[in-house]
Amino acid sequence: MDKLAHLTPMKILCFGVAREIAGGSHLFLDDVAGGTVASLRERLLRDYPAFGELVSFAVARNEEYAEDTDIVEAGDEVVIIPPVAGG
């Protein structure tokens, strides 16, 4: 685990209602790399309580749905996936 990556804020992409909550197409969270997806979700809910008002949201890591136990690595593409509504 790279100490510097750990400290660098991580860019998290936001779509749909997440973009509205974040106030733009992405947000930054620090202290995220090296931790679990579950802890990222907690950080997000603490810094942006409006995410708690959604029905649910998932997290994608490198274009795949992530499990809560997955580790977020520096350099990952991390995306907040609010409830989908295609079709």
Partner 1 sequence: MLSGEPLSLDDCQSFVAHPSCGGLCFFVGTIRDLNLGETVTHLEFEAYAPMAVREMRKIAVAARERFGLHAVSLHHRTGDLAIGDTAVIVAVSSKHRKPAFEGCEFVIDELKKTVPIWKREFRADGTHWLNARP
Which residues contact partner 1 by CB under 8 A?
13, 15-17, 19-20, 53-55, 60, 63-65, 79, 81-87
Nearest distance, CB of residue 39 and partner 1, angstroms? 22
- What one-character DSSP code corresponds to residue 70? P
Distance CA 7, CA 31 (A): 6
Sign of the alpha-carbon dihedral angle for 77, 24, 65, 36: positive
Nearest distance, CB of residue 21 and partner 1, angstroms? 10
Compare residues 33 and 59 and give the one whose CB is closer to partner 1. Answer: 59
Compare residues 13 and 38 and give the one whose CB is closer to partner 1. Answer: 13
Tokens encoding 66? 């992530």
CB 68 within 8 A of CB 38: yes
CB 21 within 8 A of CB 51: yes
Compare residues 7 and 25 and give the one whose CB is closer to partner 1. Answer: 25
Compare residues 7 and 52 and give the one whose CB is closer to partner 1. Answer: 52
Nearest distance, CB of residue 53 and partner 1, angstroms? 6
